[in-house]
Each structure stands twice: as structure tokens, then as C-alpha cells.
A and B are shown apart, each in its own frame.
Chain A
Amino acid sequence: DQQVKQNSPSLSVQEGRISILNCDYTNSMFDYFLWYKKYPAEGPTFLISISSIKDKNEDGRFTVFLNKSAKHLSLHIVPSQPGDSAVYFCAATGANSKLTFGKGITLSVRP
């Protein structure tokens, strides 16, 4: 049973527009959520995180929103750039610090 779900396998957006990547989780014990970006033939790179005590965290063009009641988080990228094209993984962890990952979503930003 998948505890972290990224239901859309891909997303295509125009350069300069907003990219919204969604993630749902089922385990109410998760209290720390992360987004990773992965280019082909490279390992995942940490992008941004959010603790369950917050509902928003912002870092430059990247903002993560957390809705605990809905067990939903989203990553907003504004403005989107062609270099943002990659696979984005949502991950969550609780007290044991072990990460549970979603299957990832492939973002394509069209010039």
C-alpha cells in the first residue's frame, strides 16, 4: 500500500508559467515532507522541505504548501524554466527518519 502518492506521472508547462506538482499521503504519523529533483543518470537532489507545524515554506522560485487535514502537499515553481525539467519526487518521514517516496512526476518545461 503506497503511503505517498503522486498520481500524475507527468506535467508539461510553458516557460514562465507556474508548475504545480501534487502529492498525497496516508500516514498521519508523517511530520516532515521533502521534495527532491532528479535528472537522468544523477541521484536525487534535495529541493525544499516543510515541517508539519507549518503550512507553507518558500525558497526562491519554489514554494511548498502543506494541508494536513487533507494529507496533501504541493510544490509550486514560479516562474518555470526549461532547466526545471526533471523528475520530482515527494517524500515523507516521521520519528524514525526513514523516508517514504512517491513514484515521481516528470516535469517538462517548454521554451
Chain B
Amino acid sequence: EADIYQTPRYLVIGTGKKITLECSQTMGHDKMYWYQQDPGMELHLIHYSYGVNSTEKGDLSSESTVSRIRTEHFPLTLESARPSHTSQYLCASSDPQGGNQPQHFGDGTRLSIL
């Protein structure tokens, strides 16, 4: 069972602010992911990483950026928040060893930009 933590759980903040959403996992997983989900909709992959210093854009275009300096840490940053960034952001990780492995999710950050 993966332990993956996201902070903050909820964030309400004004337009134009810089935001960093934190994601950490304690299982040593190489693969980590960020998803964006709006109510009633599917999860969309916005960023992923297959290891330290590896980051890729996902299927849904996002103005956010990510970094992967340490295996356990995969923060997401919005340089200047806008109301269109209001959404739920979910972080996940998976163990690439042994073939197909499920992704394990954190509890998400619900972001509201005023």
C-alpha cells in the first residue's frame, strides 16, 4: 500500500498569486503523476515523471509546471493563478517493478481561485 500525501487539502486564494501544491510519497516509487479533475468529469493527466530529473507533459494541457529533484517529492506550481485553474488536483505514484502496477492516489488538493 502506497502512502502518498498532498498539502494543502483545500486552498482558496486570489488571482495572480503563485501557488505550489505539494505531493510526497514514502514508498520509493519512481513513477509519479498529477491529474486534474473537475466535478462529474474524468481525471485528466497533466504531468508525469518516471524518476528524478524526469518530467513530461500529460494529455491535458496545463499552465502549471512540476519538478522532480527527489524521488519522494513531486510539487506542482502555478506561477500566476487564475479562476480557470479552479479544480481538484490529484497526485499519484506507482511502482514500475513487476509489470503492470496500479497507481495509488493522495487525497487531492481542492483549489479555488477567486
Residues of A whose CB lies within 8 Å of any CB of B are 2, 4, 9, 31-32, 34, 36, 41-46, 49, 51, 89, 93, 97-104
CA distance A44 to B40 in the complex (A): 14
Given contacts A41-B107, A98-B59, contact A103 B40 (CB under 8 A): yes
Give the contacts of B48-62 with A (CB-CB under 8 A). 48, 58-59
Q: Most chain-B Cβ atoms within 10 A of its Cβ — which of A9, A42, A98?
A: A98
Residues of B within 8 A of A98 (CB): 33, 45, 48, 58-59
Bound together, the chains give a CA A31 to CA B40 distance in angstroms of 26
Task: Give the size of the chain B interface in residues (CB under 8 angstroms).
Answer: 27
Interface string of B77-114 (1 = CB under 8 A from A): 00000000000001010101000101111111010000
- Chain A CB within 8 A of B41 CB: yes
**CB pair A101 B100 closer than 8 Å:** no
Task: Check B90 against A44 for contact (C-beta < 8 Å).
Answer: yes
- Number of residue pairs A-B, CB distance < 8 angstroms: 56
In the bound complex, CA of A83 to CA of B106 (Å)? 20
Q: Are B43 and A42 in contact (CB under 8 A)?
A: no
Q: Could you pull out 9 A-B pairs where Cβ atoms are within 8 angstroms?
A: A32-B100, A36-B105, A43-B4, A43-B6, A46-B102, A93-B100, A97-B96, A99-B43, A103-B40
A9 partner residues in chain B, CB cutoff 8 A:
40
Q: Is the CB of A101 within 8 A of B107?
A: no
Q: Say yes or no: B100 contacts A49, CB within 8 Å.
A: yes
Known: A97-B94, A98-B59. A4 touches B100 (CB 8 A): no
Contact B45 A99 (CB under 8 A): yes
- Residues of B with C-beta under 8 A to A49: 100, 102
Contact B42 A45 (CB under 8 A): no
Minimum CB–CB distance for A75 against chain B, Å: 14
Which of chain B's residues has its CB closest to A2's CB? B42
Rounded to whole Å, the gap between the CB of B40 and the closest CB of chain A is: 7
